[in-house]
Amino acid sequence: MLNIQTIRDNKERLQEVADQKGIKVSITQLLEWDDQKRQLLQQVEQLRQRRNKHTQEFQSLAQNGTANGINIDSPEARQLKQTVKEINNQLTGMETKLAEVEQPLNSLLLLVPNLVSPDTPTGRSDADNVEIHVHGVPTEFDFEHRDHVALGELHEIIDLPRGVKTAGTRNYYLKGNGALLHRAVQQLALDLLIQRGFTLLEVPLLVRSASLTNTGFFPLGEDQTYRIEHEDKWLVGTSEVPLVAYYGNEIVDVSEPIRLAAVSTCFRNEVGSSGRDVHGLYRVHQFAKVEQVILCEANLEMAEALLQEITHNAEQLLQLLELPYRVMSVCTGDMSQKTYKQFDIETWMPSRQAYGETHSSSSLLDFQTRRSQIRYRDAQGKLGYCYSLNNTAVASPRILIPLLENHQQEDGSICIPKALQPYMNGMSKLVPSSSE
C-alpha cells in the first residue's frame, strides 16, 4: 500500500501502471473519495473542538457550582448541556458519513499498484521482458531426447496418473530417487542460504486473510488461493507470506538487513493456466519452495544491492546444478501489484525448446511493510517503514524439468550434478530401472 500523498504526487503514472498490469482501479475516483474524507475529518475535528470546549465549561460549572456568574441550574448551564448533546448528535452523523466514505476509499487503496523503478521496461506481458544476461549454452543432443515426463516414467520416479487419480488434475507423485532429488535441491539451496547469513524458519502454511492482505497477495490474488471452508484460514502459495508476517506490527532493528529463509509446501489454484504450462510438472497445484526474504532500512541504493544479492544466490544454485539459464528484467505489465522492480531467472528446458521461468527476485520498497506495520528507527531515532525484498531460491518439482532433461544421456541415464551428489547418497547417475 502506498502513502496517500505518494498517490497524489504520482497519480498519472500510477494509473498508467495499473492499466498495464490490468488492475481495474481509478486513481481519480480514489482521490475524490480522499477529498471527501479530508473534508469530513476537518468538520469532525471542528465539532470535537467545540464539544471539548463546551464540555470543559460545563465541568467547571459542575465542580465549582458557579463560573463566570452562571449557576449550574441556570438556563445558561442547561443550554450549555443541550449544545454539547446536539454536537454529539452531529458528530455521530458525521462519523457515520466518514465510515461510509472510508469503506470505498480503503477498498480502492488496496488495489493501487506499487510504483515501478525507472529502469523497469514498459510492457504488458512476459513478451516485453528484457534479457539482461545469459549463462551457459542451451543443451543440444545428437540423439532423440526425452521430456521429463518420459524420463520420469522410464526411471519410475514420477507418477502423474496416480497423482490425478488421487487428487485430480495437475497433481503427481514423486517416487524413490524422484522424491530424493526433490529434497536434495531444496537442501542444497538451504545450505547455500545459511552460509550466506540467512536465518532458517519453519513457517505456518495456514494463515489469516489479514496476513495475505498485508503482504500484498490479497485482494487481487484471492482466486489463486485455497481457503479452508467456513474459516478465515488460507493455504499459502509462498512462504514469503509468513516470513514477512513474522515481524508484523513490530519495530525491528535493521542496522544489518534481516535475512530470513524457509522451505515450505506451497499451494496455488493456478486459475487460467493452459497449454504447455500444464504439461507434466511445470504448473501444479502443490509444490515446495525455498524462499529468501530480506527486510532493510528505507534506502534505494541498499535495496538495489540486496536485490542483486538474492538474485545472485539463485544464480549460484543454478550454476551448482550445471544448468543453462538467463536473467530477465520484468516489464511493468508482467509484475505483480506489489512489485517495484523484478528479475526473473529462466532455465533452459529442452522439451520446450525454450527457457522457462524457475526463479523470481523482487524489490517491494515499503509496499508490504506499510500494510504490515513493520517499522524501524533511523540514525536520528525517527520511525520509518522498512523495505522488503524476496526471491525464490528454488521451486520443486519445476526445477526437476531442466534438471532431468538437460542431464539425460543417450542410454536414458541421468547424470547428477556434483553439488547434488552428497544429498543423493553419493549417486553420480540415475540409471533406468530396466537397465539395473
Which sequence positions are flagged as catalytic?
268, 283, 357, 360, 398
Residue with cell 523495505: 387
Nearest to 261 by CA among 249, 247, 248, 244: 244
Name the CA radius of gyration of the chain, rounded.
Answer: 28
For 96, counting Cβ atoms within 10 Å of its Cβ (0-12 exposed, 13-18 middle, 19+ buried), the class is exposed
- C-alpha distances (whole Å) from 41 to each of 5, 7, 86 are 16, 19, 18
- What does the block give as the cell for 351? 522439451
**Which of 182, 145, 138, 193 has the alpha carbon at shortest distance from 348?**
138
Phi then psi for 291, rounded to 5 degrees? -115, 140
Nearest alpha-carbon partner for 120 in 303, 305, 334, 393:
334
**Direct distance between the N- and C-terminal alpha carbons of the chain, in angstroms, rounded to an integer:** 57
Q: Which residues make Cβ contacts (< 8 Å) with residue 340, sequence separation at least 6?
A: 114, 115, 116, 117, 120, 362, 363, 364, 365, 367
The answer to whether 317 and 192 are in contact (CB under 8 A) is yes
Tell me the CA distances in angstroms from 286 to 92, 165, 290, 405, one per residue in order.
50, 15, 14, 21
Element (H, E) at 94: helix 75-109
Maximum CA extent, the chain: 109
H helices of 219-333, where?
240-245, 300-320
Report how far apart, in Å, the C-alpha atoms of 143 and of each of 408, 414, 417 are: 10, 14, 21
The answer to whether 365 and 387 have CB atoms below 8 angstroms apart is yes
Q: Rounded to whole angstroms, how far apart are CA atoms 241 and 431?
A: 39
